[in-house]
Structure 1
Amino acid sequence: MATRALQTPIGARIAAASRRAFSGVEARLDAERERIGLWLPVALGAGIAAWFALPAAAHWTGMLFLLAGGALGGLLLGWQSRIGRMTAIGCGTTACGILLIWARAAWVAAPVLAQPVVTAFSAEVEAAEPLPAKGETRLILRPQGRDDLPPRIRVTLRGDQGSAIVPGERIGLRARLMPPPAASLPGSYDFAQRAWFDRIGAVGTVLGEVSRTPGAGRRGQPLRARLSAHIHNQIDGSPGGIAAALVTGDRGAISAEDEEAMRRSGLAHLLSISGLHVTAVIGFAMFLAMRLFALDRRVALAGYVLPVAAAVGALAGAGYTWLAGAEVPTLRSLIAALLVLVAFLMGREALTLRLVAAGALIVLLWRPESLVGPSFQLSFAAVTAIVSLHESRAMQGFMARREEPLPLRLGRGLMGLLITGIVVEVALAPIALFHFHKAGLYGALANVVAIPLTTFVIMPAEALALLVDSVGLGAPFWWVTEKALALLIGLAHLVADAPGAVATLPRFPSGGFALAAAGGLWILIWRTRWRWWGAVPLAVGMATLLAQPRPDLLVTGDGRNIAAAAPDGSYALLRDRAGDFVRDTMSEAGGIDAPLGALADLDHVECNRDFCRWRQDGRVILASRGIDKIEGVDMAAACAAADVVISDRWLPRECVGRWLTIDRDSLAESGGLAIYLGEKPKAVATLNAGDGHPWRNAPGVSGNDEAVPTAALAP
């Protein structure tokens, strides 16, 4: 009797389901074939990000092998299929990202000061940046004849003597130097990482007077510095500082209060020369050039007006970038603007995600380390969100030209600007929360006024003022510029002081941020319905942030500054004389937007000259704050009765807390700490054991020219 199987074998069913899934994804990719290339800079950036996230060379090498395996897997899937090609090329590009940043980090390697030192030396001034709002000048120096010092040093000079120092001259000085500081708390800004790629091996403060060679400064200040000084002479205070920032990128004259108001109101992007400013300059130059060259009949009839105007705009943008110091963000904006001009002249659509992707790819190949900085992430996220929004059918239909009265047309334009601002704010919120632990909530509304005010009033008026100053007719334009800038600052303070203007949250876990970024890119890049699949990782990533508890204790890397969560939700400092930088860092790490109090003023805290002790979440905390030496025998009982003991000094062997003991030795290995108490307490460290990134294990120099080389002591 013949028999037959009553059901399909499991293996066959799995194979059939796999084939259907493969065919379904292949069909979706075929529908999105014009957008696949946009993932190329994403894959390169993923490799760069993986190098920063993974701790050591063994992990980087292991990731390269995994990517090689993935590329081979893609080839096995078949080069003729889109899935196979995407997998092979994506893995290969990601591997190139790892190799690129690894090679870049090795290329810029330079010695770093091993420990703090006070020393006198002579140096050549590479750059001088006046900071009038702080009464300081920041200098980038190249020490001369001192192999025991890093080749590049950044120092701060207080007082007026720095105003006359110009790049290229040689000076003699005595300074207190220290290695570039790492992040003081988990999730805080890591200056050591940036300093490594800038080849800065030490930072410090000038002590006493600076010696200058006879005749120093005869060449005068460079054009950028002279132009900033001229603007400051025309407009005083923060308005003059913003005016200088718009032209030369010099933000040193903006007061701390006004700069903070600009940040809180979502208008800080106006202070940094970026795409908005470069585009305005190029557009203004093209507009003037087209009007002038159109007057020549031969040029107009030959069709040369537009190409010549584009060339004039490109030269104006390049000159503006050079004048502003040619910083990475400005150069990035110039590259994007030039790509738009090229597309415009070729008759292609001027602004598309392809041009954005090309600009991102060029910047990552040129400066791969810029990927992890907020400037790159914020600018490209904003542009990608704007282009993706205006490529959508709904937005194109809403903004399409139509026969309607002028008020309706203006209202439609303002509504489009508001919608664009809201989308940009949503796109930038995760990045701002990750880097700064805060995000402005009313930035979209503020930018509806601020962007037109800056683009169509402030920058043209300032440009005309500078243009006609040569004949002494700039006063009316400077008056308009000053009043408009005062209005801009007033708007910033109005928005910043509004209730609920800023959302603050504690440290954004790196894994959650990666998920949110991947989900956001998935939504922005694809065009068909499966783009909304990205909402899942985006929601999960943001949920990790919302679920992240606030730390109960914050301890900086030197152990001197401790902040404890107070019962009212704020934080209180062990040493209430801490400076503004420490207070801002503690507030950001704690995710609060309120002043920090004094720990000794709280009712549940007991303090004497040497220690403070208090109970928090069922744990007893003992923190030292004195400078007198105390014998270990005298401390043993108090330490044994505490769950957590914290000191900025070395603790004797007899002092051991029940759960955690923190002193100078342990902080040297862990860096700053964020401590979470409760049933399952944990401590999150700034530094990770086994971190093999070059700025953590840099070759050190002593900074002491009297040190005897070890080799000289050899027999």
Structure 2
Amino acid sequence: MSRIADRCETGLASAGFDRGPWLAVAFGGGIGLWFLLHTPWQWSATIGGLVLVALAALAAWRDRDERAYLLAATIATSLVLAAGIGLVWARSELIGAEPIERPTFERLDARILEREDQPARDRIRLVLAARDAEDGIARAYRVNVPLDQADSALREGVRVRVSARLMPPSPPIVPGAYDFARRAWFDGYAATGSVVGDIEIVEEAGGGGGEGWIAQVQRHLSAHVRDRLDGAPGAIAATLASGDRGAISEADEVAMRDAGLTHLLSISGLHVSAIIAATYLIALKLLALWQWLTLRVRLPIVAAAIAALAGIAYTLLTGAQVPTVRSCIGAILVLTALALGREPLSLRLVAVAAIAVLLLWPESLVGPSFQMSFAAVLAIVALHNAKPFREFLAPREESGLRRFGRRALMLFLTGFVIELALMPIVLFHFHRAGIYGAVANLFAIPLVTFVSMPLVALALAMDVVGLGAPAWWLVGKSLDVLLWIAHIVSAQPGAVKLAPKMPMAAMAVFVLGALWLALWHGRTRLWGALPVAVASGWMWATPAPDIVITRDGRDVGIASADGRLLVLRDSEGSYAQQNLREIAALDGEPVPLAEWLGARCSRDFCSLRIERDGRDWDVLIARSRELIEERALAAACDRSDIVIADRFLPRSCKPRWLKADRRFLEREGGTGIYLAEEHIDTVAEGQGEHGWFRPFVRRNAGSQ
């Protein structure tokens, strides 16, 4: 151990790397540990253990001078890890919204907190604040309102009376699916649902809390853009101008996602950086025309201040989402560095932006937005700071054509590296990713950055004097080209890769390896390629479940031997079926189980035999909730290895291996079954005692 410690000390003392970014990694690691650990005693024990490690290292440091680097790193890392756990735990306790116990129908006297227009889905979405009739506690509810009831008077601050059908926020429908319950917990939603009947306006916004003027400006700007530009280009132009994605059709969303261009629809680093950079350059050039100011003030400082204000305004206008805030913080730091004459692009800058975001929203660490945003920026900064690439981009005597070729090659390489960095993250969260994203982004990013966004800004400016029509026509043509790229790329054979639920351990190994590659310097950084390669192979070899059951048991997907997905219910295009296809990693058209030749189906049950690794599995699946003679049901269960039902089955039903009836599913949630490994994966296994997960068993226990 002493020899290992000496080697670590020598390595830390001689390594030429910034320590600061690793503190950001440790802080994020502490937040991630809180999500991975399941119970309060585990969180407390981990914090206590880390503090003891820091105290022991401090005591050892006082007794000797050697190993100072190792001991300092141990103290800092332990305390920052503990701080991350404590921060996210405290935030969960302070703002976590207790979900309602069960589905209910309520008459609410509420105040509108937020409004989001979603014309592509024929609805608007409201966040309402109302006091519970029983305990008097104020709660927030997110409800959908049909578009024909979307009165313009329904805005932030208005008091309304509505009847609403409410449900507790939904946990993942199957293992690995989107966890809306966790997001709702940190967003403060106690329930979601839909409005039933008319909405009565009781009091205008002036009598309530706040006008929500930023949201109103955002809506007016979005409506103005869509009024000036019709169709899909208008919807995307509204997104670029205001961050409002509600008018983008599902077909265009899917095409952009499968082409790897979804980031262009999420206001993030690309858009904020373009706004700030353009403002900085324009302000600098215009201010230089004012001789009096030029002789008395450092223009880069004034231009940087103007650009920072423009970035902050754009961030607020577009909703202040995590990627936008991160980009705004990073861009302001870049402006500060430029004004002070310092290096603008550095890993330390990325670390400061990450810590700032995590201090405000620690829960964002486990979301795809934070991970993809920082992974992309980290890849760009690390790539451009690497010595071979700095030398490749260094100025030299050459023709304009060669200079353009070098920069185009670097742009393509940057896009390729970003795709490599983002691919595991996208597959981990969404289970599908566009393979040709690097090629699509090579054309789409310059198009949006240097053509579409400047034209949108020009069109809005010219609208002030009523001359914006020609500019809007050009905007429409440029966005038509963007959509053409998206649809062409997404339609190519093999354009989409599907992946089942990936092991968390494999993702952690990949992240650690990628961080080592990005944050270390010199040849030592190449050691990070080993865990990246191991994790990539691990993810690639991850098997898909043979049977997937949704949390209510009504939808079941079975992978057939010929690579098709057999579904219990033919609900084409439904959210449940979409998740079944993605988790099973089967992209073909699903086949209804009743139409499959290998299944025998009656009105009440389907039975089939599945062969895996030389073993036959007899599966019995309920199709209805009609009463069945118990003795016949018990006999059928005895002949089956697995029984699946969305009803409560009697105790006399005893299959040979698994009974996944309503009692089991209410306790465990959505379930994936791996027959070759004889393994069962459930939603409950990954939830622990975090506040947002409320299985039926725990709800009953709490009410007794």
- Mapped to 1, the partners of 2:58 and 2:404 lie a distance apart of 54
User: 669, 673, 676: which one pairs with 2:674?
Assistant: 676
* Residue 194 of structure 2: aligned partner: 205
> Deviation per CA, 1:353-405, whole angstroms, max 9, x where unpaired?
01001111111111111100011100111111110000011111111122222
- Mapped to 1, the partners of 2:285 and 2:42 lie a distance apart of 59
Counterpart contact for 1:461–1:477, Cα < 8 Å: yes
- Mapped to 2, the partners of 1:699 and 1:467 lie a distance apart of 56
Counterpart secondary structure, 2:681: strand
> Deviation per CA, 1:390-425, whole angstroms, max 9, x where unpaired?
001111111112222222211111111000011111
* Residue 114 of structure 1: aligned partner: 101
Counterpart contact for 1:307–1:345, Cα < 8 Å: yes
Measured after TM superposition, the shift of residue 284 of structure 1 is 1.2
Alignment of 1:628-643 (within 5 A): 628-643=626-641
- Mapped to 2, the partners of 1:480 and 1:292 lie a distance apart of 26
Alignment of 1:254-269 (within 5 A): 254-269=248-263
Counterpart contact for 1:612–1:624, Cα < 8 Å: yes
Measured after TM superposition, the shift of residue 160 of structure 1 is 2.0
User: 495, 512, 526: which one pairs with 1:518?
Assistant: 512
* Residue 362 of structure 1: aligned partner: 356
* Residue 152 of structure 1: aligned partner: 140
User: 575, 585, 597: which one pairs with 1:591?
Assistant: 585
Counterpart secondary structure, 2:79: helix
- Mapped to 2, the partners of 1:448 and 1:217 lie a distance apart of 49
Counterpart secondary structure, 1:189: coil
Q: Which runs of 5+ in 1 are unaligned?
A: 1-14, 703-709
Alignment of 1:421-436 (within 5 A): 421-436=415-430
Alignment of 1:397-416 (within 5 A): 397-416=391-410
- Mapped to 1, the partners of 2:16 and 2:78 lie a distance apart of 18
Q: Which runs of 5+ in 2 are unaligned?
A: none
CA 1:408–1:565 in structure 2 vs 1: closer, same or farther (change >3 Å)? same
**AA matched with 2:689:** G
Alignment of 1:299-338 (within 5 A): 299-338=293-332
What number of residue pairs does the alignment pair up?
A: 686
Counterpart contact for 2:288–2:294, Cα < 8 Å: yes
Pairing 1:664–2:662 present: yes
* Residue 127 of structure 2: aligned partner: 140
Alignment of 1:47-196 (within 5 A): 47-75=30-58, 78=61, 80=65, 81-144=68-131, 146-147=133-134, 151-164=139-152, 165-196=154-185
* Residue 346 of structure 1: aligned partner: 340
* Residue 687 of structure 1: aligned partner: 684
- Mapped to 2, the partners of 1:224 and 1:199 lie a distance apart of 23
> Deviation per CA, 1:200-241, whole angstroms, max 9, x where unpaired?
000001112222248789989811111111111111222111
Pairing 1:456–2:450 present: yes
- Mapped to 1, the partners of 2:672 and 2:307 lie a distance apart of 50
* Residue 477 of structure 1: aligned partner: 471
Counterpart secondary structure, 2:71: helix
Counterpart contact for 1:111–1:699, Cα < 8 Å: no
Q: Which one is further off, 320-329 or 617-626? A: 320-329
**AA matched with 1:694:** G
- Mapped to 1, the partners of 2:328 and 2:205 lie a distance apart of 35
User: 15, 21, 37: which one pairs with 2:20?
Assistant: 37
- Mapped to 1, the partners of 2:169 and 2:575 lie a distance apart of 16
Counterpart secondary structure, 1:653: coil
CA 1:561–1:189 in structure 2 vs 1: closer, same or farther (change >3 Å)? same
Counterpart contact for 1:127–1:139, Cα < 8 Å: yes
Counterpart secondary structure, 1:201: strand
Q: Which one is further off, 681-690 or 304-313? A: 681-690
Query: Sequence identity, in percent?
Result: 44
Pairing 1:645–2:670 present: no
Counterpart contact for 1:54–1:60, Cα < 8 Å: yes
Counterpart secondary structure, 1:181: coil
Counterpart contact for 1:507–1:545, Cα < 8 Å: no
**AA matched with 1:97:** G
- Mapped to 2, the partners of 1:77 and 1:566 lie a distance apart of 61
Counterpart contact for 2:129–2:140, Cα < 8 Å: yes
- Mapped to 1, the partners of 2:97 and 2:506 lie a distance apart of 34
Counterpart contact for 1:184–1:557, Cα < 8 Å: yes
Counterpart contact for 2:620–2:640, Cα < 8 Å: yes
Measured after TM superposition, the shift of residue 34 of structure 1 is 3.9
**AA matched with 2:629:** E
Counterpart contact for 1:112–1:699, Cα < 8 Å: no
Counterpart secondary structure, 2:19: helix
Counterpart contact for 1:249–1:272, Cα < 8 Å: yes
Q: Which one is further off, 569-578 or 452-461? A: 569-578
- Mapped to 2, the partners of 1:385 and 1:393 lie a distance apart of 14
